[in-house]
Structure 1
Amino acid sequence: MDLPALQLGHEFEPIPKELHSMATGQPFDTCLTCQCHLLQDGVGYLVEKAVRVYPDAGVQDVIFEYAMCLTCAQQLREELSVESRQRIEAFFRERVDLVARREALLSLPDPLRLDNWLAHCLVTGTPRSACTEYQICAQCDGGDLLYTYMPYFLSAQAMDQMQELISPHTRQILDDFMDTHFGLPPELRALLQDRLVFL
Structure 2
Amino acid sequence: MSDPIPESFYSDRSGKPIRKCVMCEKDLIASGEPYAIEKAMKRTAEGDVLTLFEMAICIPCGQKMNQRMSEHSKRVIEEYFESIHLNEKRVGLGQEDWQDKWDKVCVVTGEPLSEVTEFNLIGNFIGDRVIAGIPPVAISGEIMEQLQEKISPETRQEMDDFRDTYLGPDDPQLKALLSETQFVLL
Q: Compute the TM-score of the two structures, normalised by the length of structure 1.
A: 0.82
The alpha carbon displacement at 1:94 in A equals 1.2
Please provide the CA RMSD for this pair: 2.1
- Cα separation, 1, equivalents of 2:67 and 2:135: 20
For 1:196, give the aligned amino acid. Answer: F
1:121-132 equivalent positions in 2, closer than 5 A: 121-132=106-117
For 2:183, the equivalent position in structure 1 comes to 196
How many residue pairs end up in the alignment? 182
1:69-148 equivalent positions in 2, closer than 5 A: 69-96=58-85, 98-99=87-88, 101-103=90-92, 105-106=94-95, 108=96, 111-113=97-99, 115-148=100-133
- Cα separation, 1, equivalents of 2:13 and 2:102: 24
- Cα separation, 1, equivalents of 2:40 and 2:89: 26
Q: Which runs of 4+ in 1 moved over 3 A?
A: 147-150, 183-190
Whether the 8 Å CA contact 2:85–2:108 is kept in 1: the answer is: yes
Describe the superposition over 1:96-147 as per-residue Cα deviations: whole angstroms up to 9, x where unpaired.
15236524542x3xx251x322332233221222112101110011111224
- Cα separation, 2, equivalents of 1:50 and 1:31: 17
For 1:7, the equivalent position in structure 2 comes to none
For 1:197, give the aligned amino acid. Answer: V
Describe the superposition over 1:146-174 as per-residue Cα deviations: whole angstroms up to 9, x where unpaired.
24344112111111111110101101100
Q: Compute the TM-score of the two structures, normalised by the length of structure 2.
A: 0.87
For 1:62, the equivalent position in structure 2 comes to 51
Identify if the C-alpha distance between structure 1 residues 26 and 168 changes in structure 2 by more than 3 Å, giving closer, same or farther. Answer: same
Q: Quick check: 150-159 or 79-88, which moved more?
A: 150-159
Residue 159, structure 1, aligned to residue 149, structure 2: no
For 2:23, the equivalent position in structure 1 comes to 33
The alpha carbon displacement at 1:178 in A equals 1.1
For 1:80, give the aligned amino acid. Answer: M
* Percent of paired sites with the same residue: 33
- Cα separation, 1, equivalents of 2:119 and 2:62: 20
Q: Secondary structure at the match of 1:138?
A: strand
